[in-house]
Chain A
Amino acid sequence: MSLNKFKDRNVGVQNYTLIEHEAFPQTGGEKFARVLKRTIKGELFVGLWVTMRTMILALFNGEIHTVKYPFEKLPISPRYRAIHDMLRLLESGHYRCIGCGLCEKICIADCIKMDTKYDENQRKEVTEYTINFGRCIFCGYCAEVCPELAIVHGGRYETASQQRASFSIFDDMLTPIDALKEQKEYPGFGAVSPNADDNIKKTPLAY
């Protein structure tokens, strides 16, 4: 496609095709003929049959599309960006976050607030970590940037609450220690791609 085509602002004709339809009746006689034709052709009964068939299938074949929402939920895509989860290391149970601050830095809405200090092993300890969900736009950058797969987007999309603090404290987002076994590696935003191993290139050591 040439650049010219994009510069053409005269939208309205190029990509539209007119739908074929029969000529509209002009005189009263033609209108009457159309009514007669439609009456005799039985188009109306085709319509009746369509709804009846749907009803029969719905009643006797279970083709009902209603999801009784609070009681049953549709699966969501793994790449859905809902409320964040903070994951733990499977071996030690320690949280994965190393306090690097990348997520705080990249956050486009400036809504991550964290504080760190060194613990007795000279390891960074996260003393404070909150996400202000009143401002988060769920862009996924934080999950994308995290080097440790520590912050990911989880599946909690029902985010109505009396105060936004309900979701946003580190301990709320962290996998509970007793549910460590159920913690799954996250396939969605920011996760390692399935073919990550193939993409690794050896860094040449000698220059």
Chain B
Amino acid sequence: MDAIIIETIVKAALVIAVFSALAGFGTFIERKILAFMQRRLGPMHVGPFGILQIAADGIKLFTKEDIIPQHANKFIFMIAPIITAATAFIALAAVPIFPEFTVFGYTIHPIVADINVGILFILGAMASGLYGPLLAGMAQANKWGIIGSARTAILFMSYEVVTGLSLLAPIMLVGSLSLIDFNAAQTGGVGEWLVWQQPVAFILFIIAGFAETNRTPFDILEHEAEIISGYATEYSGMRWGMFFIGEYANMITISFMASLIFFGGFNEWGILPGGLAILLKVSFFFFLMLWVRASWPHIRPDQLMWLCWKVLMPIAILNVLITGLVMML
């Protein structure tokens, strides 16, 4: 019993340390890739190829003054970023990151908690992360913040139904909510990847995932050209940084989910060992998010609602129905 507790604490600490570092690194990668796609160089001066820019940004964020506006609701204003960052890491708890491996004769499962409703847990935790922008926008006594939180509500109501329904069909096929079971269902190589059986569900999930992580083309919460910075208008320093760590951690989580559910997870991929395979897949999905951000314009909130409720949701329901019929026959 003690061993499990200690192991879990160590794993949780590792996940937080590694993934917040990765989130910081994600901002660097994003700046670089966007720069190359726009024929720029991106950060270049701090460290080789500007890689230490992360450290410089971190120092800047940590030492900046933490401003709380006069008429803001102080308590909510202060905890809102923590909600976003914390839920992003909580969601990661149910994600199996690597295949299990053995160190000193001790088998390690690289997952903090293998709960049998893993997918539900992740979706729930990520969804509650949107309380961060919602509360932050309303607490800061700023009209752009209010618009930002109104848009958060819109976003939340729109994508959530699509995420759930799109994942329902693969869940029916596998018959489990645990990501480990999903992984185990696709052990037979590329041919058994669920994306071949559920291409529609995959596309719907990716679209909803973009909305869930608040990425272009659905970055309506804080779109600078329209609403200054939306929910983050009044934030500065580390509180602002926490929103971003949360956003990037969420991007990583969505990339993990897409790879685990539809693309064979951490099974061996040809000659590639499982750990490397999943790293490649996750990197690809992360890159896809940056790529899309560089390429596509973003859409209006009403278009998002229209898309989610009138297009994607019917398709998702049809997909579930057809999957069910095929399974029964």
Residues of A at the B interface (CB closer than 8 Å) are 28, 31-32, 35, 44, 47-48, 50-52, 54-55, 58-59, 63-66, 68
Q: Are A64 and B295 in contact (CB under 8 A)?
A: no
CA distance A58 to B39 in the complex (A): 6
Q: Are B295 and A48 in contact (CB under 8 A)?
A: yes
Task: Tell which of A28, A35, A48 touches B292, judged by Cβ atoms closer than 8 Å.
Answer: A48
Task: Tell which of A28, A44, A50, A59 touches B36, judged by Cβ atoms closer than 8 Å.
Answer: A59
> Which residue of chain A has the shortest Cβ distance to B45 in the bound complex?
A68
Task: Tell which of A44, A47, A54 touches B39, judged by Cβ atoms closer than 8 Å.
Answer: A54
Q: What are the residues of chain B within 8 A of A28 when measuring CB–CB? A: 310
> Which residue of chain B has the shortest Cβ distance to A58 in the bound complex?
B36
Q: Are A68 and B44 in contact (CB under 8 A)?
A: yes
Task: Tell which of B38, B296, B306, B310 touches A47, judged by Cβ atoms closer than 8 Å.
Answer: B296
Q: What are the residues of chain A within 8 A of B306 when measuring CB–CB? A: 31
Residues of B at the A interface (CB closer than 8 Å) are 33, 36-41, 44, 291-292, 294-296, 306-307, 310-311
> Which residue of chain A has the shortest Cβ distance to B42 in the bound complex?
A66
CA distance A50 to B297 in the complex (A): 13
Q: Are B40 and A47 in contact (CB under 8 A)?
A: no
Total of A-B residue pairs, C-beta within 8 Å? 44
Scoring A28, A64, A65 by chain B CB atoms within 10 A of each residue's CB, the highest score goes to A64
Q: Are A63 and B39 in contact (CB under 8 A)?
A: yes
Q: Are A55 and B41 in contact (CB under 8 A)?
A: no
> Which residue of chain B has the shortest Cβ distance to A57 in the bound complex?
B39
What are 25 A-B pairs at a CB distance below 8 A? A31-B306, A32-B310, A32-B311, A35-B307, A35-B311, A44-B295, A44-B296, A47-B296, A48-B292, A48-B295, A48-B296, A51-B295, A52-B37, A54-B36, A54-B39, A55-B33, A55-B36, A58-B36, A59-B36, A64-B36, A65-B39, A65-B40, A66-B40, A68-B41, A68-B44
Q: Are A52 and B41 in contact (CB under 8 A)?
A: no
Q: Are A52 and B291 in contact (CB under 8 A)?
A: yes
CA distance A32 to B296 in the complex (A): 20
CA distance A64 to B38 in the complex (A): 8
CA distance A31 to B39 in the complex (A): 35
CA distance A47 to B307 in the complex (A): 20
Q: What are the residues of chain A within 8 A of B292 when measuring CB–CB? A: 48
CA distance A59 to B36 in the complex (A): 7
Q: Are B39 and A48 in contact (CB under 8 A)?
A: no
B231 CB to nearest A CB, Å: 28
CA distance A68 to B45 in the complex (A): 10
Scoring B36, B306, B307 by chain A CB atoms within 10 A of each residue's CB, the highest score goes to B36
Q: Are A55 and B296 in contact (CB under 8 A)?
A: no
CA distance A50 to B311 in the complex (A): 27
CA distance A63 to B37 in the complex (A): 11
Known: A48-B292, A66-B39, A68-B44. 12 other contacts (CB 8 A): A32-B310, A54-B38, A54-B39, A55-B33, A58-B36, A58-B37, A59-B36, A64-B36, A64-B39, A64-B40, A65-B40, A66-B41
B39 CB to nearest A CB, Å: 5
> Which residue of chain B has the shortest Cβ distance to A63 in the bound complex?
B39
Q: What are the residues of chain B within 8 A of A54 when measuring CB–CB? A: 36-39
Q: What are the residues of chain B within 8 A of A51 when measuring CB–CB? A: 37, 291, 294-295
CA distance A52 to B36 in the complex (A): 9
A29 CB to nearest B CB, Å: 11
- Nearest 7 Cβ contacts at the A-B interface: A66-B41, A51-B37, A47-B295, A55-B36, A51-B295, A51-B294, A65-B39
A68 CB to nearest B CB, Å: 7
A152 CB to nearest B CB, Å: 35
B95 CB to nearest A CB, Å: 27
> Which residue of chain B has the shortest Cβ distance to A32 in the bound complex?
B311
Q: What are the residues of chain B within 8 A of A32 when measuring CB–CB? A: 310-311
Task: Tell which of B33, B40, B291 touches A48, judged by Cβ atoms closer than 8 Å.
Answer: B291
A8 CB to nearest B CB, Å: 36
Q: What are the residues of chain B within 8 A of A66 when measuring CB–CB? A: 39-41
CA distance A58 to B35 in the complex (A): 9
Q: What are the residues of chain A within 8 A of B41 when measuring CB–CB? A: 64, 66, 68
Q: What are the residues of chain A within 8 A of B295 when measuring CB–CB? A: 44, 47-48, 50-51
> Which residue of chain A has the shortest Cβ distance to B203 in the bound complex?
A39
Q: What are the residues of chain A within 8 A of B291 when measuring CB–CB? A: 48, 51-52
CA distance A58 to B291 in the complex (A): 15
